[in-house]
Amino acid sequence: MAFGLQQEVLERRFSSPPEWTMRSRIIYRNAKSNENPDPNGTGLADWANAGGGYRQLLKRLEDPSVDGRDLRPILQDEGDIYVAGLGRVGLDVSSKSEPWRRGYYSCLIGAAKASENRDGWVCDTTRNITFPPEVVIGPSNPRPKPVPYGAAHAPFEENCVPLFESAETYYMKILTTQGFNTRQRLDAALAYADWLDFKGLSSTAEEMYDWGLDIAMGALPLGVNHVIDIKSGVIDQKALYVSSNVLLATTALAFHHARNNNLAAALPIYLSVLRARRQLPDRSSQDEAGSNLRQGSSIAQLLSFFRSMIVTPPYPPAPPTGDEPPLRTPAAICEEAGVMAHVGEIIFASSSASSSAKASSNPLRGSLISSAPAAGRLKNQQSGLSWTRDAVDLAEATLTSAGKDDEETRDKCSECLAVGMDNWSKMVAKLLKDEQQAREEKQPKASRSWLWGSSAVVEDGGRWERESQVVDQRLENVRRLLSREADRKEAKGGYLFI
């Protein structure tokens, strides 16, 4: 009875495709639970068990005698295709239902995440225990780190095998599988590119981001052209059809350039994304009325809750494929605020980078960097600060006015507000430091005497000192707002899963 109750609770948290066998559904729920633990517990994901569950589930889903009936190779005449280092590439799953394909995709993505989080880990085959690579004793690790106190003794390299396949194996399997929609393939391409960036393979990551642009562009309706400049990734200002996938792919490419300090390439893309977002059609009042009607009264919601405790809820409907242009909803406005925060950060950082580059390229000039470039640098910093301040204002206003049940808007605005506020405080701190340094350089040296002491004149605080005080007060208000938001979400989650 306890096991059955636990599975019912997990089914409501992680719905499994109803056409899978019971054993496969149980493995899927448990793997999801290990990946997304209960926040009331330890809150730490068990990636070893999650990855093991996903691998076990993949074997069942691809086995024709279990849950893989009617699966076909991509090239039916040649059979399964294998690539060195990656194993078997994707299959043709187009004959399966949408819930089956969605669950299969979720399993592949979960396995890829587990492989990322346990990259390099090994399993000691003599004891069936997993270890991080830095504690393994062997020729490839001449200086192993000691294992934590109380843990099993370190393994020998000859007894170890890799814990999981590389994350590339699962990402490429998704990208070569027939039957996934555009958003699923695009999410996999961007996740793989982000992993390559993390591994320091920026050039390979950029190729994968370009592949993501091709995926987004390839799903546009016939006759839609000149949406993106393929060379720069900039959205054309005259584009009439900008899908959600196009916005997602271009924003990810801009973030890649910014992360690799290619600010000159990132800024035009961000500005084109911001322009395209501001041109999105607003959600009509009819849509809002329909959403309010679907929500129903409080009594209807209460009855629906008690009914869900007795009857297992149906499998969730399919999410959008991202091939259509999005509406300018409150959640989209929060994403717009996030883009504004990135623009402000790039403008502010580019001014500092250009000044340091000038100083390094003119070592003999010293202070010959005239006041004119310094004034232009300060103007750019103020412009970046203004962008960031506007992003914070927009995110805070949208979060305050969002509906209580609009979790998507609240989550995105909370994240954007925290990032924007952090950037704002760091920018003001940098400007305040420069202001104090300039004041000290202009102030004459203090002349001291035994009678009168120091003759230095203490000046009042400047502009950025006053701005710093405003930011500190605003930061305290934002922290209280985000704390209340976190408490509200935790209370709501606890009520749903009692």
- The angle at the Cα of 113, spanning 111 to 115, to the nearest 5 degrees, equals 70
pLDDT for position 475: 86
pLDDT for position 406: 84
Q: Look at strands 160-162 and 448-449 and give their pairing.
A: unpaired
SS3 453: strand
- Sign of the alpha-carbon dihedral angle for 141, 146, 147, 152: positive
pLDDT for position 165: 93
CA pair distance 99, 72, nearest whole angstrom:
18
pLDDT for position 302: 61
Confidence (pTM): 0.83
Which residues in the chain come in under a pLDDT of 70?
39-42, 75-88, 284-309, 352-376, 443-461, 492-498
Residue type, 129: I
Q: Terminus-to-terminus CA distance in the chain, angstroms?
A: 17
pLDDT for position 437: 82
pLDDT in tens, 426-472: 988 888 888 888 777 776 655 454 444 554 444 455 778 888 888 88
Which of left, alpha, beta for 128 (phi over 0: left; psi -120 to 50: alpha)?
A: left
Contact present, 322 and 182 (Cβ < 8 Å)? yes
Contact present, 389 and 352 (Cβ < 8 Å)? no
Q: What is the dihedral of CA 220, 221, 223, 227, to 10 degrees?
A: -30
Query: Across the strands, what pairs with 282?
Result: 328
SS3 137: strand
CA pair distance 130, 163, nearest whole angstrom:
7
Which runs of E-coded beta strand occur in 5-115?
A: 72-73, 82-83, 87-88, 91-92
- In the block, which residue shows the tokens 């990402």? 171
The two three-digit tokens of residue 337, written as one number: 């605020």
Q: How far is CA 219 from CA 171, 186, 208, 476, in A?
A: 20, 11, 17, 45
Query: Across the strands, what pairs with 72?
Result: 92
